[in-house]
Amino acid sequence: MNFRPRTRIEPEINLIPFIDVLLVVLIFLMLTTTYSKFTELQLRLPVADADVQRDREREIIVAVAADGRYSINRTPVAGRNVDAVAAALTGAAKAGKNSVLIISADAASPHQAVITVLEAARRTGMNQITFAAQNSASAGSR
């Protein structure tokens, strides 16, 4: 009888095939995953009634026609120079320097006509200026 203890053979775990399979799965997931949904921000914007929030007393609407004529709050301006527009803006500004100037220029109006309105606004001290535009859907129907 052999009473000598047997030498136990330790099982050897080979990790190389396991790592190879994991790398293949990782490459497959990287190639098939789309990341566009992760980069988008899902926002719910607050809802408000625009007519309620508008402060019409502070608004001054300057319309610039295609031929360079001006009208401020639907009142035609006599001259086409900076001084005439500045004087009309000062008269129309009920809120003073806190008025909001909305420039509504025709698409074919000269660039200098819009610059004249901006210069007149600078001279009167108005710093809240915005431009009016129309939707592309409503522009196409005209």
Reading the chain (142 residues) residue by residue, the pLDDT tens digits are 667 777 777 888 888 999 999 999 999 988 887 665 554 555 565 665 555 455 577 889 999 988 889 999 888 998 889 999 999 998 888 777 788 999 988 888 899 999 999 999 999 999 899 988 776 555 555 5
CATH class of 55-133: alpha beta
The tokens for 46 are: 């607050």
**Residue 35 confidence (pLDDT):** 64
Contact 64, 117 (CB under 8 A): yes
Measured distance CA(4)–CA(44) in Å, rounded: 79
**Residue 10 confidence (pLDDT):** 80
**Residue 19 confidence (pLDDT):** 93
**Residue 48 confidence (pLDDT):** 55
Contact 92, 62 (CB under 8 A): no
Measured distance CA(84)–CA(98) in Å, rounded: 20
Q: Write down the domain spans for the chain.
A: 55-133
**Residue 4 confidence (pLDDT):** 73
